Amino acid sequence: MTNNLSEFQNDNIFIDANVFIYFFRLHPEYSKTCQQFFSNLQNAKFKGFTTAFVIEEVAYILLIRSIADDFNNHPIEVIRDNPEVVRKYTDKLHKAITIIFSMGNLSVLDTPAELFFSMFEKMKHGLLTRDALYLAVMDQNNIPNIASFDSDFDRVDQIMRWGI
User: Rounded CA gap, 83 and 13, in Å?
Assistant: 37
Q: Please provide the CATH number assigned to the domain covering 2-163.
A: 3.40.50.1010
pTM, entire model: 0.94
Residue 93 near residue 63 (C-beta atoms within 8 A): yes
Tell me the pLDDT of the chain (164 aa) as tens digits.
679 999 999 999 999 999 999 999 988 889 999 999 999 999 999 999 999 999 999 999 999 999 999 999 999 999 999 999 999 999 999 999 999 999 999 999 999 999 999 999 999 999 999 999 999 999 999 999 999 999 999 999 999 999 98
Q: Secondary structure of the chain: what % helix, strand, coil (to 5)?
A: 60, 15, 25
